[in-house]
Amino acid sequence: MKNRSLICDYDFSKEEIIKIFETAKRVKGEVKSGKFVPYLAGKTMGMIFEKSSTRTRVSFEVGMYQLGGSALFLSSKDIQLGRGENIEDTARVLSRYVDIIMARTFEHSKVEDLAKYGNVPVINGLTDLLHPCQALTDYYTTYEKGKKLEGLKFTYVGDGNNMAHSLMLTGAILGCHVWVASPTSMTVNADVVNKAKQLALKSGGSVNVTTDPKEACKNADVVYTDVWASMGQEAEFTAKEKVLRPYQVNKELFGLAKKDAFFMHCLPAHRAEEVTADVIDGPNSVIFDEAENRLHVQKAIVLFLMGK
């Protein structure tokens, strides 16, 4: 039987996500109380990066150490993949050395192919299409900080990018009312919206796509934004900035959300672009809890995929 992988947000069911959240809470508690449990003694993760990273690299690497295993940082610039060795051979070779692969790539098909041709679990550490580890962490953080996920109004404002897609899909699985406000020219992928709507039908949640940031933020429980130019799209920044200006999360826009609403951002952030400093550095911002929880949620994902 083929190994389980996390390539798309819907690779896990709601029940499996809840199980992962419970494990995340447990392993976080163990680390906080100074307890070292070597669940993955002797196990190694290979981490392929085609793009830059602070959080993903450090949280997966530290996470493997905290579980008693080890991790190898494999920049695509250094391994033969960057010189044209194909993904099929890379997947097959790495599967002979490591027990699990995490990969951050441009094309989404590359992580799919790593899982297809390799025979170890593969985790999507961000592609141009999706960022499931971040979305799982953000819903975990919302839940950990006391908000009930079913029926929650979870709003994303800005570029219709990988973060918007994963938040829509994971939120739909978990029964949230997900709102995405983006300009028409930067709207979310229609196939992802359709998939998220199907998932919401099952969970009792909903998926709402609009061009109106005010409607999306009104009475929201969470307001989320992300950079205006994702990695690899830097050349488009100037053109995008003009159109995205009305989608900036500032005091006025955030003020439409519930009083106790969380402000969230996957980071890295650009203050005075997608969010103003008073909001991201304000009392409702939970950005560093999100960043910290990447560590614990990803440990839970790895344990789940490795059958531990």
Residues forming contacts to ligand NVA in the complex (CB under 6 A) are: 126, 161-163, 226-227, 230-231, 266
Whether the link from the prior residue into 121 is cis, omega within 30° of 0, is no
Token pair recorded at residue 246: 């009305």
Token pair recorded at residue 118: 């390799």
Nearer to ligand NVA, 120 or 192 (CB): 192
Nearer to ligand NVA, 232 or 282 (CB): 232
Nearer to ligand CP, 205 or 226 (CB): 226
Question: What phi, psi does 218 have (nearest 5°)?
Answer: -60, 120
Using an 8 Å Cβ cutoff, are 111 and 7 in contact? yes
Closest residue to ligand CP, judged by C-beta, is 56
Give the residue numbers annotated as catalytic, written as ranges.
Answer: 104, 131, 134, 226, 266, 294
Residue 245 exposure: Cα atoms within 13 Å on the Cβ side: 5
Q: Which of 45, 266, 280, 303 binds ligand CP (CB under 6 A)?
A: 266
Nearer to ligand NVA, 99 or 138 (CB): 138
- 124-125-127 Cα angle (round to 5): 75
Q: Which of 20, 64, 62, 73 is nearest to 40 (CA)?
A: 64
Q: Does 194 bind ligand CP (CB under 6 A)?
A: no
Question: What is the smallest separation between the CB atom of 62 and ligand NVA, expressed in angstroms?
Answer: 17
Nearer to ligand CP, 53 or 248 (CB): 53
Question: What is the smallest separation between the CB atom of 163 and ligand NVA, expressed in angstroms?
Answer: 5
Concatenate the DSSP letters of all residues of 239-271 into one string.
HHHHHHGGG-B-HHHHTTS-TTPEEEE-S---B
Residue 211 exposure: Cα atoms within 13 Å on the Cβ side: 7
Which residue shows structure tokens 């002797």? 42
The pattern of x and - marking residues 22 through 51 that bind ligand CP according to CB under 6 A reads: ------------------------------
Question: What is the smallest separation between the CB atom of 198 and ligand NVA, expressed in angstroms?
Answer: 24
Question: What phi, psi does 115 have (nearest 5°)?
Answer: -70, -35
Report how far Cα 5 is from the mean position of its chain's Cα atoms: 15
Among ligand NVA, ligand CP, none, the one that 168 touches (CB under a kind-dependent 5 to 8 A) is none
Among ligand NVA, ligand CP, none, the one that 79 touches (CB under a kind-dependent 5 to 8 A) is none
Q: Which of 267, 284, 289, 292 binds ligand CP (CB under 6 A)?
A: 267
Using an 8 Å Cβ cutoff, are 192 and 217 in contact? no
Q: Which of 6, 8, 20, 56 binds ligand CP (CB under 6 A)?
A: 56
Q: Does 54 bind ligand CP (CB under 6 A)?
A: yes
Question: What is the smallest separation between the CB atom of 233 and ligand NVA, expressed in angstroms?
Answer: 8
Nearer to ligand NVA, 156 or 304 (CB): 156
Using an 8 Å Cβ cutoff, are 123 and 302 in contact? yes
Whether the link from the prior residue into 268 is cis, omega within 30° of 0, is yes
Q: Of the listed pieces 52-60, 72-80, 195-203, 252-260, which binds ligand CP according to CB under 6 A?
A: 52-60
The residues of the shown chain that bind ligand CP, judged by CB under 6 A, are 53-56, 126, 134, 266-267
